[in-house]
C-alpha cells in the first residue's frame, strides 16, 4: 500500500483517481510515498526517507524546498496550464479594473445606499469614476507560457496591440500564440511601449524585484500594471513612489501585502487567480495522474527539479536512477548491470541543470546486490525499481 498525504484540501475528482486497493490517501497518511499540496508551507518540513514525490496542484512552487528535494531524490511536480484559463480571465478583469474605476464606483454606490435620489446622484457623480477603453491600447505581456500566451491572444480579440517577451518560450507555446502578438526584443521594449503591462513569470532569484525604480523610470507615464504572478516581483516602496509621481496610474495584484493594502490606485485581489471550480479540479486531476504515472512506472512529466523522462514499459523490470549530471555516469551504471549479466532492453537519460534521470528497461531477474551496487556509485542520489 502506497501512502499519499494531503497537506491541503484537494478536489475529490483528483484524489478519486488513486486506486484505493493500491493507495491510502488522506491528511493522516503516515510515512508518505508522495504528498499532494496547494498552498501549505513546506519550506521547513523534514521529509521521511520513503517520500519519492511531491505534487503541487498549481503552477507556483515557492512553498516547496525544490533544491532540497532534488538533493534527496524527491521529484517535485507542478501542473502548468491546468489553471491557465482561470488566471487568464482574472487578468482580463484586472485590466478592466485598472482601466476604469469600477471598484471606486461600486464603493461610492454602497456609501450612498440611503440616498432616496440615488439614480439622480449617480448621473451627477459618475464622471468621477470615468476611465478609458482597452481597445487601441498597447499591452505588454512578460512571460508567454500557458497563462501569458492565453492572455496575449485574448487581448488581441479586445482590439489591443499586443507585444510579448519570453526568453524561455517553448516551441509549443510559440505555436499556440496568436500571429497578431508582436515579439519584443527584451523587457525594456515592453516597458517603453506599453500602456498596460501584465506579468506571468515565476519569482526566481533572477527576477525578484524586477519592477523597481529603475524599470518604472523606463515606462510610459500613466502605465497600468497587472501582477497576478508573485508579490516578490515588485519593490513595494518603489511602486508607491511611482504611483505618487503618476508614473504608474494603477497597479492590480493578486497578492496583497501589508505595504500596499489600502494605498491609492492599488487594487488588491485576495489571490483568486486559480480559485475557480474548474481550475481546482483540473489541477487536482493533473497532479494525481502525474503521481500515479511516477509511482507506478517511474515516468516523469512536469517536474520542476528533475527532467521530464518517459518511456513505455517493455521489459521485465525497470530501474530508475536519479543522479548528478556528470560525465561517464551512464557508463558506470551500464557497467554494473553488464557485470551482473543483466540485459538492457531499452534505456533513456535526460538532464536538467545539475540533475539527471535515467531509466533502464531490463529483461530477466534483477539481483538484489545489483541495486546496492548501483546505489554505491558516486553521485547516485536514488534508485527506484518498478
- Catalytic sites, residue numbers: 230, 259, 271
Non-local CB neighbours of 296 within 8 Å, separated by 6+ positions: 386
Residue 303 DSSP label: B
How many residues in the chain?
Answer: 386
C-alpha 114/C-alpha 68 separation (Å) is 58
User: What does each C-alpha distance from 154 to 11, 30, 100, 143, 158 come to in angstroms?
Assistant: 28, 45, 19, 15, 7
Is residue 365 left, alpha or beta, with left meaning phi > 0 and alpha meaning psi from -120 to 50? beta
Q: Is residue 358 within 8 Å of 349, Cβ to Cβ?
A: yes
DSSP states of 246-296 as a string? TSEEEEEES---TTTTT-TTEEE--S-TT-SHHHHHHHHHHHHHHHHHHHH
- Per DSSP bridges, beta strands 380-385 and 355-363 are unpaired
Amino acid at each position: 500500500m502506497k501512502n499519499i498525504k494531503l497537506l491541503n484540501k484537494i478536489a475529490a475528482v483528483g484524489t478519486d483517481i488513486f486506486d484505493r486497493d493500491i493507495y491510502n490517501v488522506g491528511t493522516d497518511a503516515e510515512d508518505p510515498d508522495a504528498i499532494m499540496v496547494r498552498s501549505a508551507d513546506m519550506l521547513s518540513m523534514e521529509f521521511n526517507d520513503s517520500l519519492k514525490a511531491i505534487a503541487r496542484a498549481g503552477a507556483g512552487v515557492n512553498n516547496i524546498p525544490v533544491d532540497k528535494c532534488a538533493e534527496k531524490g524527491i521529484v517535485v511536480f507542478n501542473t502548468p496550464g491546468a489553471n491557465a484559463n482561470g488566471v487568464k480571465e482574472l487578468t482580463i478583469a484586472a485590466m478592466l479594473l485598472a482601466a476604469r474605476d469600477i471598484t471606486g464606483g461600486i464603493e461610492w454606490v454602497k456609501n450612498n445606499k440611503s440616498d432616496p435620489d440615488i439614480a439622480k446622484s449617480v448621473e451627477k457623480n459618475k464622471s468621477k469614476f470615468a476611465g478609458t477603453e482597452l481597445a487601441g491600447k498597447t499591452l505588454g505581456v512578460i512571460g508567454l507560457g500557458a497563462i501569458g500566451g492565453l492572455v496575449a491572444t485574448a487581448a488581441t480579440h479586445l482590439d489591443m496591440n499586443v507585444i510579448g517577451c519570453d526568453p524561455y518560450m517553448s516551441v509549443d507555446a510559440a505555436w499556440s500564440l496568436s500571429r497578431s502578438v508582436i515579439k519584443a526584443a527584451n523587457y525594456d521594449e515592453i516597458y517603453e511601449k506599453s500602456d498596460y503591462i501584465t506579468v506571468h513569470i515565476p519569482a526566481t532569484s533572477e527576477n525578484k524585484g524586477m519592477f523597481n525604480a529603475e524599470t518604472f523610470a523606463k515606462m510610459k507615464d500613466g502605465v497600468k500594471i497587472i501582477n497576478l504572478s508573485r508579490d516578490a516581483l515588485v519593490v513595494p516602496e518603489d511602486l508607491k513612489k511611482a504611483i505618487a509621481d503618476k508614473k504608474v496610474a494603477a497597479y492590480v495584484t493578486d497578492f496583497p501585502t501589508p505595504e500596499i493594502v489600502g494605498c491609492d490606485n492599488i487594487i488588491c485581489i485576495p489571490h483568486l487567480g486559480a480559485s475557480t471550480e474548474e481550475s481546482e479540479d483540473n489541477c487536482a486531476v493533473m497532479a494525481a495522474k502525474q503521481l500515479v504515472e511516477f509511482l507506478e512506472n517511474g515516468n516523469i512529466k512536469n517536474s520542476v527539479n528533475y527532467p521530464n523522462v518517459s518511456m513505455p514499459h517493455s521489459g521485465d523490470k525497470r530501474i530508475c536512477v536519479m543522479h548528478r549530471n556528470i560525465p561517464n555516469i551512464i557508463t558506470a551504471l551500464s557497467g554494473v548491470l553488464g557485470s551482473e549479466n543483466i540485459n538492457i532492453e531499452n534505456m533513456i537519460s535526460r538532464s536538467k541543470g545539475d540533475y539527471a534521470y535515467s531509466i533502464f528497461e531490463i529483461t530477466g531477474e534483477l539481483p538484489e546486490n545489483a541495486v546496492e551496487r548501483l546505489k554505491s556509485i558516486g553521485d547516485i542520489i536514488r534508485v527506484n525499481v518498478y
